Amino acid sequence: MTARAFAPASARRALVVETADKKAVCVLTGTAGVEGVVTFTQSGDGPTKVSGDLKGLAAGKHGFHIHEFGDTTNGCMSTGPHFNPAGKDHGAPTDENRHAGDLGNVVATADGCVFELEDVQIPLDGTNSIIGRACVIHELEDDLGKGDSSETGTQGKTSKTTGNAGARLACGVIALTPA
Ligand SMILES: [Cu+2]
Ligand SMILES: [Zn+2]
């Protein structure tokens, strides 16, 4: 009788870590006096919770996105377009047709900009992980893909691509941190 090479399935399953909490942080800096920290936490395959604390923003709504690249060699410009692994149009976080990186607007007051949100399209591991990508806070309100798309180019009206959110005021790389 030969020895069993592997433990039975019931024993192997115990070795799998199924619902580990994952945590990431993004330290945003820029040239416009805007800065802050955004943290991301995810339990298992659940939604990712996002908490932000930004300073230096004008009061009002500001577009907030995950951009494709964690490359800040040319400031926030080199972070590329919105993270869009499914090849969709720009939209609101609640839209079916949206970029994964479309997190909508955050609201600043004279006291600052503290926000919390939750999203199911920005996991911290797997194929569509946002680790190593960038988060970007913008000058203007994101029109959520419902605005003017009549001009192409980086200075044009490009609601379906950018939400016409204007300049990239601050950004940072999304990096793993101890959970
Ligand atoms: Cu953006
Ligand atoms: Zn977008």
Alpha helices in 39-179 (DSSP H): 159-162
Task: Write the burial class of residue 74 (CB in 10 Å: 0-12 exposed, 13-18 middle, 19+ buried).
Answer: exposed
**Residue found under tokens 């569509």:** 128
Going edge to edge, which strands form the sheet with 113-119? 102-108, 60-67, 134-138, 168-176, 21-28, 35-43, 48-55, 113-119
pLDDT at 8: 56
Active site residue 82: yes
The whole-number average pLDDT for the span 146-163 is 87
* CA–CA–CA angle 66, 49, 28 (5° rounding): 45
Query: CB of 113 within 8 A of CB of 54?
Result: yes
- Confidence check: pLDDT of 28 > 70: yes
**Ligand 1 center from residue 1 Cα (angstroms):** 64
Active site residue 90: yes
Instruction: Select 21-177's CATH number: 2.60.40.200, 2.40.50.100, 3.40.630.10, 3.30.590.20.
Output: 2.60.40.200
Active site residue 125: no
Rg (CA), the chain: 19
Strands (E), 73-130: 73-76, 102-108, 113-119
Provide the whole-model pTM: 0.88
Active site residue 62: no
pLDDT at 100: 98
- Residues lining ion ligand 2 (Cβ < 5 A) are 82, 90, 99, 102
Q: In whole angstroms, give the CA distance from residue 110 to residue 159.
A: 28
pLDDT at 1: 46
Q: In whole angstroms, give the CA distance from residue 96 to residue 116.
A: 21
pLDDT at 160: 95
**Ligand 2 center from residue 85 Cα (angstroms):** 11
